[in-house]
Amino acid sequence: MSAPSPAASAPLPDSTGLRLMAVHAHPDDEASKGAAMMAAYAAAGAEVLVVTCTGGEAGSLLNPSFADLVRAERDITAVRREEMARAAEALGVQQVWLGFLDSGLPEGDPLPALPDHCFAQLPLETAAAPLVALVRRFRPHVLISYDEAGGYPHPDHIQAHHVTLEAWRAAGDAEAYPGTGEPWEIGKLYYDRAFNPEKFRALHEGFVASGQESPFATRMAWYEQAEAMREVLRRREAGEDVPDPKDVPAWIPPHHEVTTQIPVADFLDERDAALRAHATQVDPDGPFFAAPNEMLRSTWPWEDYALIESRVPAPTPEDDLFNGLR
């Protein structure tokens, strides 16, 4: 979207009395997708609740410098719960576990079967019922989760998308999910756009312009491949006989236009603290920290969202998730 302006670092308006719920698949997802936004709204007085669908039990140890390898291998569930508590404290938010079993990320050809009774294998109503109950108890004005591909195609992320849409639809319906509390109609539904190509293009160009090697060059090449494949698919839908492009990406992310940019320049340190809290999953020298915060503040001082549905008038573009609800 536009270049940064003074408004990009302006504080959010007082948000006392407003409530935001962010639904995530695993502990650590909240730190890499919307952490600075949540810290900003918490500082502005909003109640912010992170919902973590699974315990992250199937997660691999991704930080080669993690100090307590023996304990992590012995009891990864307890370690990740402690990490999540520290991340929530760093952001100033509340957090609730839905208690489902991590499905893991299957790899191989053919892909192995997912574990029995894991989150991604559950019927939608079974997986969504605890979230509907939580929505009715917390009564969020804004609900945020992933797009239909899960942000990236992890089975738990895709299931998190499905249960979020089900909660959006059903929580306000008195006939749905009896016994889970009084109905509550959420005002606005957003998809997180943490992987917004325009953001990474701006950062990539910033590195190149400064004479540095860009850590985002591979990502940009993949975005170009995905866009080329989208164009092929569009032309095929129009009836053209078009061959595949030279490089076919493994998957094509859905496109949702960014409608909402939340200024977070003053909360990048809180985001970093939340990321580092997940010490089993986040390498302090890894890709989450590839762009220095100084560059983010000058190049892309926002976190990006797509407004998918709204039950209140809310013109876009906007710089406040509670636009139309205040």
> Is 154 marked as a binding-site residue?
no
What distance in Å separates the CA atoms of residue 100 and residue 304, rounded to the nearest whole number?
Answer: 28
**Six-digit token pair at 129?**
């019922």
What distance in Å separates the CA atoms of residue 288 and residue 302, rounded to the nearest whole number?
Answer: 16
DSSP letter string, 249-262: -S---------EEE
Q: Is 165 helix (H, G, I), strand (E, B) or coil?
A: helix
> Is 24 marked as a binding-site residue?
no
C-alpha distances in Å from residue 197, one per residue of 1, 180, 204:
11, 39, 10
Q: Are 167 and 131 in contact (CB under 8 A)?
A: yes
Q: Are 142 and 321 in contact (CB under 8 A)?
A: yes
> Is 157 marked as a binding-site residue?
yes
Residues flagged as binding site for Zn(2+): 26, 29, 157
Residues flagged as binding site: 26, 29, 157
